[in-house]
Amino acid sequence: MTVDEELNLLETNLRRLKIEYEIYFNNPTKRPPADTEWRVSNAIRKLSDGYNDGQRINLAQRYRYNELAQRYALLSDLWRKKMRIREEGYRRPQDALLSVQGVRVFEEEKPPSHHATLNPFTVQCSDVGSEREKVEKLFKALVEAKEKAGEDVSKSGNLESFEKFVQSKTDQIRKQYGCHSVEYSVEMEAGQVRLKAKAKV
């Protein structure tokens, strides 16, 4: 197999690996794609010294290889973080950017001082850029719910970062499920305030 063929196969497997990880993170019954990841990492190791079957990789091939290897390194780091969050739960604001279900927006989670009740707040978003008022209401409802539950809101972030999160998740879910909009809800679950999102036709 020539160097270009090796690179083509690596690119194909990397694209397949990304899809398989997306399926894995959206289905708790799935197993991580260990076989595909082994093929990708093995190909990268094989090409890393600049040789393939005794043939030196030229500059154009080296550039392409570096691009693929860097892409894999970034994706691999993201997957490790998402797997850790999946196993340990959502604890930090940045965790909310990596997944949707059961998002906990704040870093510190203190048990509520009393058994608070909460009327669920819901809002649908399709074009966040032109729906700032909806995002503001959602952010306000989330902060108020946290305060009512006796949770620490000092590290709740700001509206700007929250709006970016909602924009990112809305675009992702609409693309993934082909839906028109995304419904966000602020709910009380097991004594903790949760922000959830689901596709809406």
**C-alpha triplet 118, 119, 124: angle, nearest 5°:** 125
- Ramachandran sector of residue 132 (left: φ over 0; alpha: ψ -120 to 50; beta: rest): alpha
53 lies in the same domain as 11: yes
User: 84 and 105, same structural domain?
Assistant: no
Measured between its terminal Cα atoms, the distance across the chain in Å is 47
Q: Domain residues for 97?
A: 93-200
Q: Does 58 share its domain with 119?
A: no
Domain finish residue from 88, 113, 136: 88
Residues 173 and 108 placed together within one structural domain of the fold: yes
Render pLDDT for 7-46 as a digit per residue (tens, 0 to 9).
899 999 999 999 988 888 887 667 888 899 999 999 888 8
Confidence of residue 1 (pLDDT cuts 50, 70, 90): confident
Greater model confidence, 62 or 190: 62
- How far, in Å, CA of 180 to CA of 184, rounded? 13
Residues 63 and 159 in one domain: no
Give the C-alpha separation, 180 to 168, whole Å: 15
Residue 163, pLDDT > 90, answer no
**Do 74 and 106 belong to one domain?**
no
pTM of the full structure: 0.44
Using CB atoms within 10 Å of the CB of residue 11, give its burial: 0 to 12 exposed, 13 to 18 middle, 19+ buried: middle
